[in-house]
A = this chain, B = another copy of it.
């Protein structure tokens, strides 16, 4: 977990700290409290606290329904707890939505009105801005684009359901594909085992390993299919990619672009469309929480 203090509309932090989340130990809320106190400014008033967390969560109620790295937080009223303890307004959104807001306000999507942010990592998260407003939906569960079904008979997703884009193009999906191919006797410099990761596979691909290259090609092709559908659904002017798997560069994005062009059903969707890498890097969550706070305080 990370915390930082910002002045309004200034993406350079005045103070910044981080601490281990420690999934296996209770006391996550107390660690978060201490972390916030460690950056709390002396002699200056704090207007609000913005928070971003993996979900699912309810941004309107300010409740974390469940979050992968803190198993003790089930239906956890984070906003109520923090606002009682710190005496300021508190805002919460999920990490994908916050990163989308951050990129739109401070990063790669500045000046765009219709934005899709996609992070390709252990999972595939997203946030969508429609006409300068973050899309939340009725339950605050919109933009779960990693769980859009792109093949009803596809492999199982981290969530347990089948054929989601996350089950084809996330880090674990790339690893699983390589493992399956190795099990089937495909020859490769890669060996099965726990050291196999999206990163080690990318390294092997850069050294010319055919299986590793094929694994990224497959992930990129399916990502292109998914993004084609998202263009048809949302018609954005920019798609911003974040997340560790996205840093594989042409290994993933050459096949992605080819697939996207083959699948978009009208060329007009691509006119003027930008496909960009996220600009905020590790600060996406912090700057997303800042952007969320800015927007929430304006309403």
Contact = CB atoms under 8 A, between A and B. Distances in A.
A143 interface: yes
Interface in A107-159: 113-114, 128, 130-131, 133, 135-145, 147-153, 157, 159
Contact of A142 (B138, B152, B234, B265): B234
Interface stretch (A243-251, A266-274, A285-293): A266-274
| Size band of the interface chain A makes with B | 35 or more
Nearest to A160: B265
B265 A152 contact: no
Contact of A268 (B141, B151, B161): B141
Nearest to A266: B56
Contact of A151 (B151, B263, B273): B151
Given A135-B131, A138-B113, A138-B114, A148 B269 contact: no
A17 B255 CA distance: 52
A161 B265 contact: yes
A199 B149 CA distance: 29
Given A131-B135, A131-B136, A273-B138, A56 B268 contact: yes
A143 to B, nearest CB: 7
**A140, A144, A230, A269: residue with the most chain B Cβ atoms closer than 10 Å:** A144
Nearest to A151: B151
Contacts of A263: 149, 152, 161
Nearest to A134: B131
A225 interface: yes
A235 interface: yes
Contacts of A161: 263, 265
A237 interface: yes
A21 interface: no
B148 A232 contact: yes
A130 B138 contact: no
Given A237-B138, A268-B141, A229 B149 contact: yes
Given A142-B234, A234-B135, A265 B150 contact: no
22 contacts: A56-B266, A65-B268, A114-B137, A114-B142, A130-B131, A130-B133, A138-B235, A138-B272, A139-B271, A140-B235, A141-B266, A141-B268, A141-B269, A142-B235, A145-B232, A147-B229, A149-B150, A149-B225, A150-B152, A157-B265, A161-B263, A233-B233
